[in-house]
């Protein structure tokens, strides 16, 4: 019997409201939508914020506005989460977990949990956490850029060695290829590459100034 695929709930990632508002919605690898906020892919978000507004129009429309000091965002309460509307009042500081969403140009959160916190010192701790997270992401992106820049010269060197190797084979008529002709054919960096390849054993000098490939 086939084992049923287990449902894995995405981790609610810590973020600032500013990060959610400025992030870009992208299609993730599994085909679902994720928010790219400061280099972090988010499907469920975890914010600490103060409720600054509540709006209720009958049973059909209920929403709140949360403010974490970096920006404000609407918490749109849908039918399956009506009970969350009464969990916090204006002025309450709360932990909010939900899914970031967009409708046209508007960003909002569809909340799954709203928990009022009595100690507002958590806000300062969260600011420090997010600042550290952003610094780590920036450092990782910088290192990735450096690695890419390093890879480019490495690729150019490899390409140059292939050209030297092919030139030696082409110019060798039996007594070895003339080193001067190889260098002239392969460009300014050829002499350095020839020395490196000879030292590595990829080429060998059969007589002064004449090269053969190691086959």
In this predicted structure, the answer to whether residue 6 has a pLDDT above a threshold of 70 is: no
Among 205, 203, 206, smallest CA distance to 214 is for 203
Other beta carbons less than 10 A from residue 87's beta carbon: 18
Report the mean per-residue pLDDT for the chain.
82
Over residues 35-86, the pLDDT tens digits come to 888 778 889 999 999 999 999 887 778 899 999 989 999 999 887 778 888 8
Beta strands per DSSP E along the chain? 12-14, 24-27, 33-37, 40-42, 44-57, 61-67, 72-77, 93-103, 106-116, 177-178, 203-207, 210-213
Torsion sign over Cα 37, 38, 40, 45: negative
Over residues 164-191, the pLDDT tens digits come to 888 888 999 888 999 999 988 888 788 8
Contact of 66 with 111, CB cutoff 8 Å: no
Percent of the chain, pLDDT > 70? 82
Instruction: Supply the pTM of this predicted model.
Output: 0.58
């Amino acid at each position: 019997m086939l084992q049923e695929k287990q449902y894995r709930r995405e981790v609610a990632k810590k973020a600032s409201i500013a990060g959610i508002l400025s992030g870009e919605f992208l299609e993730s690898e599994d085909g679902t939508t994720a928010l790219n906020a400061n280099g972090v892919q988010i499907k469920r978000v975890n914010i600490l914020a103060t409720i600054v507004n509540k709006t209720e129009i009958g049973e059909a429309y209920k929403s709140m506005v949360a403010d974490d000091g970096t920006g404000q965002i609407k918490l749109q309460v849908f039918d399956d989460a009506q009970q969350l509307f009464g969990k916090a009042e204006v002025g309450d500081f709360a932990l909010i977990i939900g899914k970031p969403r967009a409708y046209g140009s508007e960003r909002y959160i569809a909340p799954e949990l709203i928990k009022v916190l009595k100690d507002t010192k958590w806000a300062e701790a969260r600011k420090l956490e997010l600042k550290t997270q952003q610094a780590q992401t920036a450092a990782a992106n910088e290192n990735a850029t450096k690695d890419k820049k390093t890879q480019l010269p490495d690729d150019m060197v490899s390409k140059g060695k292939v050209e030297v190797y092919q030139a030696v084979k082409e110019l060798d008529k039996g007594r070895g290829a003339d080193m001067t002709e190889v260098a002239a054919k392969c460009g300014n960096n050829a002499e350095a590459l020839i020395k490196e390849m000879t030292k590595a054993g990829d080429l060998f000098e059969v007589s002064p100034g004449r090269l053969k490939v190691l086959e």
